């Protein structure tokens, strides 16, 4: 899950270079406090983080329990101290200071939300994932349409391997804005799959399959379709990946053939296999020839199936192949071919029904 952690932290980077006092907010502050806050802000920008942290916390402690202006000033000092601690990468301490700041009574909701959002990022940077989830969840209660944060919550839940919860946040994000980038789609596919919502996972994945998709993505989509017992879709997906060149190995072609056989489209399987053998894209082995014969047989293409079995039997002269050819010819009303094939199969040691041979000897010629 390294990719997930990197994404989580990257999403919160704006929160670490961030804090500037809101001087225009009420109540009005004394001139000396405004001057001191401004001086402290300059020190923060100049990199004197330790001094800013010490002075800000000392001032916050001094102003505790005062009037409304004192409480507001205290919150701003805590904010600056939190900013200094964040720059020093003491994220947990920074988060604790920001938490204290937002407990100030009388804060405007906008300011409360800003600090809550920033605290969530600091909790994550500190490795306090559960607290980050809690804080971000509180923030999203008041900002339910903020798409980036909805995706962020999905990532956090996925990092904790809480797949059902993550799936709920993914659904909320997609409902708020169906458009996604590749990183979001990858997350959605993984989350839905891990949550057992294979149909949703497949739906998201298929939307992203194009000429840029990797072989693994095409394979994953086909596997999910098979899991849903949508064999025709699995074959169609694999064929699309094959045509786009993502699935280009001989093993991929054989998988495509098998998928078409499973999907009930054996003629398609036979066409791919026959073309591949003709173009030397597959080794011309007996196994591949037998698969071709089986595909034409499943497609009930009598001429091509019998021709394929005939060539296979002639080349290998194995009893099983002659028997298969003879049985098919018998069932498909090709008595002369059936007779010769079954007799050869018996010569090679296969068990052949006497009544078949008897009936064939009594009715020679094509078309019984």
Instruction: Kindly give, in sequence order, each residue whose CB lies less than 8 Å from that of residue 136, ignoring residues fewer than 6 positions away.
Output: 117, 120, 149, 152, 153, 156
Q: Helix or strand or coil: residue 263?
A: coil
Q: How is residue 141 written in tokens?
A: 């209660």
pLDDT at 357: 81
Other Cβ atoms less than 10 A from the Cβ of 46: the count is 10
Closest CA to 195 of 150, 156, 157, 233: 157
pLDDT at 363: 62
Distance CA 18, CA 87 (A): 10
DSSP-assigned letters across all residues of 15-56: GSS-----TTSSSP--HHHHHHHHHHHHHHHHT-HHHHHHHH
Closest CA to 237 of 227, 229, 247: 247
Tell me the average confidence (pLDDT) per consecutive run of 10 residues in the chain, 368 residues long.
35 40 64 95 96 97 92 95 96 97 91 95 96 97 95 97 98 95 94 97 94 94 96 97 95 97 97 95 94 97 97 93 94 92 90 79 56
HSE-CB of 265 using CA atoms within 13 angstroms? 17
pLDDT at 359: 79
pLDDT at 11: 40
Q: How is residue 212 written in tokens?
A: 């840029």
DSSP-assigned letters across all residues of 138-207: HHHHH-TT-HHHHHHHHHHHHHTT-HHHHHHHHHHHHHH-----HHHHHHHHHHHHHTT-HHHHHHHHHH
- How does pLDDT run across 67-120, given as a tens digit for each residue? 999 999 999 999 999 999 999 999 999 999 999 999 998 888 999 999 999 999
Rounded to a whole number of angstroms, the CA Rg of the chain reads 36
CA dihedral 326, 328, 331, 332 (to 10 degrees): -110
Distance CA 344, CA 358 (A): 15
Distance CA 19, CA 146 (A): 21
pLDDT at 355: 76
pLDDT at 39: 95
pTM of the model: 0.80
What beta strand segments (E) does 253-342 contain?
none
């Amino acid at each position: 899950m390294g990719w997930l952690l990197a994404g989580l932290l990257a999403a919160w980077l704006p929160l670490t270079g961030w804090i500037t006092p809101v001087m225009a907010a009420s109540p009005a502050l004394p001139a000396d406090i405004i001057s001191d806050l401004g001086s402290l802000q300059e020190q923060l920008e100049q990199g004197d983080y330790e001094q800013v942290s010490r002075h800000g916390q000392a001032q916050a402690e001094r102003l505790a329990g005062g009037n409304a202006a004192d409480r507001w000033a205290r919150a701003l000092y805590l904010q600056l101290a939190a900013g200094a601690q964040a720059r020093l990468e003491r994220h947990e301490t920074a988060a604790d200071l920001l938490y204290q700041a937002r407990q100030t009574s009388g804060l405007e909701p906008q300011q409360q939300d800003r600090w809550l959002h920033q605290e969530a990022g600091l909790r994550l940077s500190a490795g306090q994932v559960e607290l980050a989830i809690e804080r971000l969840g509180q923030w999203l209660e008041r900002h339910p349409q903020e798409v980036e944060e909805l995706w962020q919550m999905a990532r956090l839940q996925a990092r904790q391997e809480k797949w059902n919860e993550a799936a709920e946040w993914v659904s909320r994000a997609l409902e708020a804005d169906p458009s996604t980038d590749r990183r979001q789609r990858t997350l959605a596919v993984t989350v839905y799959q891990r949550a057992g919502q294979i149909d949703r996972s497949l739906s998201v994945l298929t939307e992203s399959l194009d000429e840029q998709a990797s072989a693994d993505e095409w394979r994953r989509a086909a596997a999910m379709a098979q899991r849903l017992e949508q064999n025709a879709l699995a074959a169609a997906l694999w064929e699309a990946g094959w045509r786009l060149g993502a699935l280009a190995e001989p093993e991929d072609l054989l998988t495509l053939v098998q998928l078409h056989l499973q999907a009930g489209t054996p003629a398609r399987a036979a066409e791919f296999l026959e073309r591949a053998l003709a173009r030397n894209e597959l080794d011309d082995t007996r196994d591949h020839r037998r698969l071709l014969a089986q595909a034409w047989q499943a497609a009930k293409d009598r001429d091509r199936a019998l021709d394929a079995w005939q060539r296979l039997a002639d080349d290998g002269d194995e009893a099983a192949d002659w028997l298969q050819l003879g049985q098919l010819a018998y069932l498909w009303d090709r008595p002369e071919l059936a007779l010769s094939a079954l007799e050869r199969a018996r010569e090679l040691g296969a068990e052949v029904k006497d009544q078949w041979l008897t009936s064939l000897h009594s009715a020679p010629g094509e078309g019984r």
